[in-house]
Amino acid sequence: MPSARTTARRAAVRAEDSSPDQVASSILVLLSGIERHDPRAPAALAFRTALARKGRELAKAGGPAAFADMLARIRAADPAQADARETILTTAWAGLLPVPEGT
């Protein structure tokens, strides 16, 4: 069984060098890893760290539109897990997401 670090590295497709489908796929791998572990487990921390890095790459590559597109792709990939995964993503990308106007 591969370690969390190995899996996180494998999911490290750089956003600016990849198609949106490839980036979504790597984010789904990271989300699956997070879902399999206790939130305090070292493996979950490694996956969350990689997910935060993926968010920084998205911000650099495409800004708010890239976040919106990626969130839609992740939600569509597994509607049953969509709300939980959106919570994980918005937490991991909290400082990177655009603040909606009027808040």
Size (the chain), residues: 103
Within-domain flag for 12: yes
Q: What is the mean pLDDT of each run of 10 residues along the chain (103 residues)?
A: 54 60 92 94 95 91 89 95 94 78 60
Q: How many domains does the chain have?
A: 1
Rounded Cα–Cα distance for residues 97 and 4 (Å): 26
- Residue 100 forms part of a structural domain: no
Classify residue 98: in a domain, yes or no.
no
Q: Could you tell me the residue range of the domain that residue 62 belongs to?
A: 4-92
**Whole-number pLDDT of residue 64:** 87
For residue 62, the model assigns a pLDDT of 86
SS3 call for 91:
helix
Residue at 103 is within a domain: no
Q: Would residue 38 count as lying in a domain? A: yes
**101 domain-assigned:** no
pTM of the model: 0.75
